[in-house]
């Protein structure tokens, strides 16, 4: 039985003036696969993310979600198609509470006419109750319920990272893109993150595309890994093959 890849990236190229930040990158992400992109600083990993998530319009190349092109879509439109992401630097509404962050994240899920809010109709109240229940569910999954009414900006850093993931997951995505999710986490939080990523894939059938420098996490959680160097793909394979790949070892030793 052949499965259609969830995401297909073909010959993706992104130029900034004379700089080719991404140069002919191709890969697929399968349904429910955990796929990592690694490589030295400046290799072009975040630029690949920005192209897929609609923050950049690729110079050339194809990006398809379930066989339908999303290349050049706005970030908003890409998110509406079920592709959501986190950022290297946590981006939350820091002055809002944890709960409010999860309520605003659901604004596009269910459209009730604007006047139903003004009139406080039963439909509006039902929709609000559903959003609160969803938010509570995700606070439980992330172990954040006790912080529901705390300002997001006052949460510990590791908790802010989990809230950011919750904000993505509450939209019911097909593809969750995590940009260096382990950065700034302590060893226990990294272990918890690995379990969480695996749990999200198993229980919510999401595929995960991951950029990460922490090799313990990458090797522990990913099914396949793409290695980039100077914008180019230099290897794709399972963790064991990547660990022993000559070019990969050279790219990393060369960085030291
Ligand atoms: N908007 C932009 N304008 C100009 N150059 C850019 C832009 N975004 C990225 N670049 C350049 O593209 C190259 C790749 O950067 P990118 O951030 O994608 O690398 P990265 O692999 O994610 O690095 P890191 O691991 O340090 O986050 C770098 O040389 C960077 O300076």
Beta strands 207-211 and 224-229, pairing class: unpaired
Q: What is the pLDDT of residues 136-179, one digit of tens each?
A: 999 999 999 999 999 999 999 999 999 999 999 999 999 999 99
Q: What is the pLDDT of residues 78-128, one digit of tens each?
A: 999 999 999 888 788 888 999 999 998 887 666 666 666 666 776 777 778
The residue behind tokens 């609160």 is 132
Cα of 43 to ligand 1 centre, how many Å? 7
Q: How many CB atoms lie within 10 A of CB 91?
A: 12
Q: Which helix (H) or strand (E) is 236 found in, with range?
A: strand 232-237
Atom of ligand 1 nearest to the CA of 228: 21
Judge whether 152 and 94 are in contact, CB under 8 Å.
Answer: yes
Atom of ligand 1 nearest to the CA of 47: 18
State the Cα–Cα distance between residues 225 and 209, nearest whole angstrom. Answer: 10
pTM of the model: 0.90
Q: What is the ipTM of this complex?
A: 0.89
Residue 173: CA count within 13 A, CB half-sphere: 29
* Segments in the chain forming alpha helices (H): 45-52, 75-80, 98-104, 114-118, 122-141, 157-169, 187-204, 215-221, 239-243, 246-255
Of all residues in the chain, the percent with pLDDT exceeding 70 is 92
- State the pLDDT at residue 256: 47
Cα of 15 to ligand 1 centre, how many Å? 10
Atom of ligand 1 nearest to the CA of 43: 21
- State the pLDDT at residue 109: 64
**Of 67, 71, 39, whose CA–CA distance to 53 is shortest?**
71
Mean pLDDT over all residues of the chain?
A: 91
The residue behind tokens 């944890």 is 98
Of all residues in the chain, the percent with pLDDT exceeding 90 is 79
Cα of 123 to ligand 1 centre, how many Å? 46
Write the residue with the smallest CA distance to atom 30 of ligand 1. Answer: 42
Cα of 19 to ligand 1 centre, how many Å? 10
- State the pLDDT at residue 89: 80
């Amino acid at each position: 039985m052949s499965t259609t890849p969830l995401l297909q990236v073909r010959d993706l190229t992104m130029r900034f003036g004379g700089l080719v930040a991404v140069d002919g990158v191709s890969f697929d992400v399968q349904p429910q696969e955990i796929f990592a992109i690694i490589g030295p600083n400046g290799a072009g990993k975040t630029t690949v993310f920005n192209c897929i998530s609609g923050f950049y319009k690729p110079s050339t190349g194809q990006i398809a979600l379930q066989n339908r092109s999303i290349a050049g879509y706005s970030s908003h439109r890409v998110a509406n198609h079920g592709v959501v992401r986190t950022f290297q630097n946590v981006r939350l509404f820091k002055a809002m509470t944890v709960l409010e962050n999860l309520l605003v994240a659901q604004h596009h899920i269910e459209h009730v006419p604007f006047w139903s809010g003004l009139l406080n109709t039963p439909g509006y109240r039902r929709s609000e109750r559903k959003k609160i229940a969803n938010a509570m569910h995700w606070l439980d999954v992330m172990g954040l319920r006790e912080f529901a009414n705390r300002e997001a900006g006052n949460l510990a850093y590791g908790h802010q990272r989990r809230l950011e993931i919750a904000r993505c997951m509450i939209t019911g995505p097909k593809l969750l893109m995590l940009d260096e999710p382990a950065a700034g986490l302590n060893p226990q939080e990294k272990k918890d993150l690995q379990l969480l990523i695996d749990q999200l894939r198993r229980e919510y059938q999401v595929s995960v595309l991951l950029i990460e420098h922490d090799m313990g996490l990458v090797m522990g959680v990913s099914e396949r890994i793409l290695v980039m160097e100077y914008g180019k793909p230099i290897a794709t394979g399972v963790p064991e093959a990547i660990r022993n790949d000559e070019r990969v070892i050279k790219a990393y030793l060369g960085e030291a």
